[in-house]
Amino acid sequence: MGGRKVARDEENAYGFQEFRSALQERRLRLLLAGRSGTGKSATGNSILQRKHFLSRLATTAVTRACATGSCCWASWDVEVLDTPDLFSPEVAQADPGFKERGRCYLLSAPGPHAVLLVTQLGRFTAQDLQAWRGVKALFGAGIAARAVVVFTRREDLDGGSLQQYVRDTDNRALRELVAECGGRCCAFDNRAADGEREAQVRELMGLVEELVRDHGGAPYTNDVYRLAQTLGGLSPEERLRRVAERLAARAPSWSERWPLAGLWRWPKAAPETWCKLGLVALLGALFLLYLLCR
């Protein structure tokens, strides 16, 4: 019952005409998210069934800007948006003007039907969890209702069950993430042969189609997507400026989301701060010792 209510609310927010048009167009927008190095671009290529996004093994991020690709799958026109590192605490330095995050919104407008959170099988780390928090910070907590967790390196399952792996893992944060995303998850071997790769895409698209049905065909929306929809008559530069301004106005600082995120920079940025903290700690210890010895 609650799921149907959410679907009706999203249909009303999206607008009936747009809702009907979305069903008629048979178009799906998929947004790839997650930390750098998990195989987002390779996963996008598997979905597109061709090498479209730049993907290679590297020690630094390969994807530097948002990029789109499209394909036909069954009766759907599928648009895939690949993203750079927009979801870590470092994005505040990499994208201080919210321009790339604004492009992400404009390229996925009027909203994604599903967000594919990509992580590596057996390698879910604190950075992955931070990336998920970054996704929710950028799009809103409601994006969890549109998320599918996609594990790369499916071959590491050795024929085992992904559901059993998730159920039996001792990584509590991973179990909680999959549960938050409604249990929706699948696994990809991005180096698999064509037949196996097609079966993987079929499994993923089954999950996406279920999401589409659950939400009445309407894409995910929020205030920024609704703003983007009103800017159609403006130049691309002006649209980006308006969306970036909205994102900057609504976003709390990264330090508020992760208070310790920038702690590692302190020794270089402000060594005197450590001296003051050390002095305060020493005085506090001496005062405590004085109280104990009275």
Residues 49-76, mean pLDDT to the nearest whole number: 80
pTM of the shown model:
0.78
| Sheet containing 114-120: order of strands | 67-73, 76-82, 27-33, 114-120, 147-152, 185-188
Task: Count CB-CB contacts under 10 A for residue 129.
Answer: 17
Predicted confidence at residue 54, as pLDDT, reads 84
Kindly report, residue by residue over 228-263, the tens digit of the pLDDT. Answer: 999 999 999 999 999 999 999 987 654 445 444 444
Predicted confidence at residue 250, as pLDDT, reads 86
- Does residue 57 or residue 109 have the better pLDDT? 109
DSSP annotation of 230:
T
CA distance 160 to 221: 37
CA distance 2 to 261: 36
Predicted confidence at residue 274, as pLDDT, reads 47
Predicted confidence at residue 251, as pLDDT, reads 75
Q: Which residues contact 273 (CB under 8 A, 6 or more apart)?
A: 266
Kindly report, residue by residue over 13-34, the tens digit of the pLDDT. Answer: 444 455 445 555 689 999 999 9
**Segments of 36-88 assigned E as strands:** 67-73, 76-82
Residues 174-186, mean pLDDT to the nearest whole number: 98
Residues 37-60, mean pLDDT to the nearest whole number: 83
Helix pair angle (2-14, 16-25), 10° resolution: 100
CA distance 258 to 280: 24
Predicted confidence at residue 294, as pLDDT, reads 55
Residues 171-181, mean pLDDT to the nearest whole number: 97
- Does residue 88 or residue 274 have the better pLDDT? 88
Kindly report, residue by residue over 198-235, the tens digit of the pLDDT. Answer: 999 999 999 999 999 999 999 999 999 999 999 999 99
